[in-house]
Amino acid sequence: MLKRCLGIVAILALLALPVVGWADEETFIPPELNYNATPPAGESAEALLAKRVGQVMEGVVQELVQKGVFTPQDQAEIQKEVEHRLGLYEE
């Protein structure tokens, strides 16, 4: 009885090997069926607004530098802070 049970388990294990090896493949769906009709996302409205605010702030600070209110060093510090707060800085 025990030999018969072990034999059945061994045969089932051997039969399962091709299935386990076949499961390593990347996908079972052909590429033409894996189509996604949603276009890639563009920039969000929040990101566009942050860029525009950064541009306006840059223009305002540049005008104030020309009028002598800020120095070019102040301009660089302000620009860096604005970019950091708006998330426009490069990582």
Residue 7 included in any domain:
no
Residue 81 is assigned to a structural domain of this protein? yes
Q: Domain span at residue 50?
A: 43-91
- Quickly tell me which residue has 């209110």 as its tokens: 69
Residue 78 falls inside a structural domain: yes
The total of structural domains in the chain comes to: 1
- Indicate whether 20 belongs to any domain: no
Residue 68 lies in a domain: yes
Residue 53 covered by a domain: yes
The answer to whether position 79 is within a domain reads: yes
Residue-wise pLDDT tens for the chain (91 aa)? 777 877 887 787 767 766 555 555 565 666 666 666 676 677 788 888 888 888 888 888 889 899 998 899 988 888 888 878 777 655 4
In a domain, 23, yes or no: no
**Tally: H helices and E strands in the chain:** 3, 0
CA distances from 24 to 2, 10, 17, 33, 62 (A): 33, 22, 12, 20, 59
